[in-house]
């Protein structure tokens, strides 16, 4: 999605919790933003979709890391910590971008383009 139009303060107030809420309730926060503001605000929808894609990708990676932990041992713990570090970095970077009213796009390697 390309940048489009001016971003209002209300759009920003909905976009930032899509990311920050992931620390508390996971994919539920971006889903609420998507359902509540997805049709009326392109900016909030853009960031909610990115947060949803990121949370789904991180759940899958954490499941793979957990299975690696179970099968191999401590290597899986390192993989799990690496996944959590990537998730934390991406969420913080995207939340800062949304707070600055930027159309910041997460890398496709971290946020798989499942929803558009």
Query: Which of 31-35, 57-61, 109-113 is the least confident region?
Result: 109-113
In whole numbers, what is the pLDDT of the chain averaged over residues?
86
pLDDT at 4: 62
DSSP 8-state assignment for residue 31: H
pLDDT more than 70, % of the chain: 92
Secondary structure (DSSP) of 60-74 = HHHHHHHHHHHHTSH
The CA distance from 57 to 13, in Å, is: 24
pLDDT at 3: 60
User: For the chain, which residues make up each domain, given as ranges?
Assistant: 9-99
pLDDT at 97: 92
In a 3-state reduction of DSSP, which class is residue 6?
Answer: coil
Cβ-proximal residues to 51 (8 Å cutoff; 6+ apart), any chain: 18, 19, 22, 27, 29, 30, 33, 91, 94
Mean local confidence (pLDDT), 93-104: 91
Give the pLDDT band (50/70/90) at residue 1: very low
pLDDT surpasses 90 at 11? no
pLDDT tens digits, one per residue of 42-58: 899 999 999 999 998 88
């Amino acid at each position: 999605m390309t940048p489009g139009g001016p971003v209002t303060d209300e759009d920003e107030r909905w976009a930032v919790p899509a990311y920050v809420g992931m620390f508390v309730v996971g994919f539920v926060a971006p889903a609420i933003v998507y359902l509540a503001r997805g049709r009326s605000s392109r900016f909030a929808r853009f960031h909610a979709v990115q947060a949803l894609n990121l949370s789904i990708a991180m759940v899958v990676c954490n499941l793979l890391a957990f299975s690696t932990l179970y099968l191999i041992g401590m290597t899986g713990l390192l993989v799990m910590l690496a996944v959590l570090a990537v998730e934390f970095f991406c969420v913080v970077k995207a939340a800062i971008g949304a707070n600055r009213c930027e159309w910041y796009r997460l890398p496709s390697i971290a946020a798989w383009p499942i929803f558009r």
